[in-house]
Structure 1
């Protein structure tokens, strides 16, 4: 039996400290996986997390529960070994797009990026459950994120590819003219696709040539004002006039041909079809954001202003967006080479 340490006279006798801690950590009730997750979800909803974030937690648990043995029903039965086995399953056995015959691939294993999204969500859930006293031990506590070889960051589009894309649209067709306007807007502002799709007439300052991204649609929940070029402002005004003519006032700026909200997924699918038509290796909305970032710097913009426009909390994230291919590197080197300046000095011979 451990000895009791007395620091001050007059203390009442207490239970052995180690035994007290052990007793206090023992939950009185065992929670099912479903009940424990429900408590977590309710807490996050109370904190004001967005619906998309809540859905991400739901999806993560659903994927994990589908893999988990049905013999395991209580949250305290989930161990670190189970979590590691699940990670190995995601790395080696899980088929991407499983269940979708048109998209399912023969190669097994999800990307490290996708695995780490699920692992981060599981870590958040179990960390909360420990803090709330629902379980004693965090089974993900000693499990690091999955490491991977360094991959090339998302590249922007080459100038020739941009010309091909813009030249492919038929301005006589409403949907194609709208798509072209959206592409130009993303190339001019670097907006996230969901931010662009949520824009209304009230968010555009046509006289000031500015866009307002309200905090409720911004990823980082920060209200920001973005400058736009005069040409894009005029084009948006024309799109708004046509949209209101067809579908009435109060509509979003980007609508489909039936008067419904044009969605990010619908735009991605249209870009994917265009990619195949033009034989471009990759084409998705985020590439337009990266293209804006790269060209902004190449045209003389500074990285600190770019960080503000892109709504990045960390400037290191902004730096990752500035990916230049070999041709851009050659152009910049020719423009700023110190030795070339020496040769170009009047009367200077080396």
Structure 2
């Protein structure tokens, strides 16, 4: 009988040495470390892979497109679209790595697209709400409340992320600027302070004094500030001020973005101030608050005041 030519995919699987998930995870995480990805990013991958394995009940390295499709269908009944997409992004990075390094013959994520999700309204705080918030924080005259007041000023003035805020060292504050080192994309950037924030920050540093940690914002016990405690206290202030919106570092980030756009800051400048690596998100902000821009143009357009 004449021997056949090329082996089929099924035949290739028979002769190919099996490789376990543990082996490929080791290779994948080693690549992550070599690329100097943040520990939080690596932990995100680990958590998502573990959750996907539990759902699929099989080795990830053996999964095919149908398995990923089944995973999506199962997940849709239990999870939000954003959560599913977060998992799919992790799996895409994983399978792209395996395929690029010829560990698998077919990429099961090749034809899988992220699920479409409705764009949610981005909440921002209005002037009256911000004023109520400061009034609430200033009711008590303690180190913690004054620290929280300065934290809100910095968040609102600069739009920094919570992880960036708690990563600021005292020496990173230089007059009316702060060097942000612990960034999401690993690129340091400079943010700028208004006069009121600069003055209050100077007062805070003086009251803070010399402690064992060089972190700018510290706890009542002179320890490095926990990000969760910042979020908890901001939520508490928001409730006390009767603000019916989520009061969080990201709310201040969005508020800062909106106010900058309304005042005419261009998308590229805002992108750098916020530390975005892609202008897509910044452009979404511009589109969202287009009506505010339209009103601004009516008041300050280039032809206003010209007798032509």
Residue aligning to 2:299: 335
Q: Distance in 2 between matches of 1:67 and 1:21?
A: 26
Do the aligned residues in 1 keep the contact of 2:261 with 2:293 (CA within 8 Å)?
Answer: no
2-structure distance, mates of 1:329, 1:266: 36
Higher helix share: 2
1:26 and 1:336 map into 2 onto residues whose CA distance is 72
Counterpart pick for 1:89 among 63, 69, 74: 74
The answer as to 2:144 corresponding to 1:175 is yes
Shift of 1:254: 0.7
CA distance in 1, matches of 2:54, 2:16: 28
Task: Note if 1:156 corresponds to 2:119.
Answer: no
Query: Are residues 1:166 and 2:134 paired?
Result: yes
* CA 25–132 in structure 1, closer or farther in 2 if over 3 Å, else same: farther
Where 2:50 maps in the other structure, the secondary structure is: helix
Equivalent in 73, 82, 97 of residue 113 of structure 1: 82
What residue in structure 2 maps to residue 282 of structure 1? 246
One of 203, 206, 211 as aligned partner of 1:238? 203
Q: Which residue of 2 aligns with 1:107?
A: none
Displacement, 1:291? Answer: 0.9
The answer on whether the counterparts of 1:80 and 1:140 sit within 8 Å (CA) in structure 2 is: yes
Contact persistence 2:125–2:252 (CA under 8 A):
yes
How many residues are aligned here? 304
Q: Secondary structure at the match of 1:154?
A: coil
2:257 aligns to what?
293
SS at match of 2:209: helix
1:1-350 superposed matches below 5 A: 18=6, 28-69=16-57, 72=58, 74-93=59-78, 110-148=79-117, 150-170=118-138, 171-206=140-175, 209-214=176-181, 217-245=182-210, 248=211, 250-277=213-240, 278-322=242-286, 323-324=288-289, 328=292, 331-332=295-296, 335-336=299-300
Q: 1:279: how far off?
A: 3.8
SS in 1 for 2:27: helix
TM-score where L is the length of structure 1 = 0.76
Structure 1 stretches of at least 4 aligned residues deviating more than 6 Å after TM superposition? 20-27
Q: Deviations 1:269-293 (Å, cap 9, x if unpaired)?
A: 2222233332422222111111111
Structure 1 gap ranges (5+)? 3-15, 94-109
Task: Tell me how far 1:233 sits from its aligned partner.
Answer: 1.7
Q: Is the 8 Å Cα contact of residues 75 and 84 (structure 2) preserved in structure 1?
A: yes
Larger radius of gyration: 1
Alpha-carbon shift at residue 303 of structure 1 (Å): 2.9
Distance change (3 Å), C-alpha of 1:269 and 1:90: farther
Unaligned runs of 5+ in 2: none
User: How far apart are 1:48 and its partner, in Å?
Assistant: 1.5
CA shift in 2, pair 1:139/1:293, >3 Å: same
User: Structure 2: how far apart are the matches of 1:152 and 1:158?
Assistant: 18
- CA gap of 1:244–1:60, structure 2 versus 1, over 3 A, is same
Q: CA RMSD in A?
A: 3.1
- Taking structure 2 as the reference length, the TM-score comes to 0.86
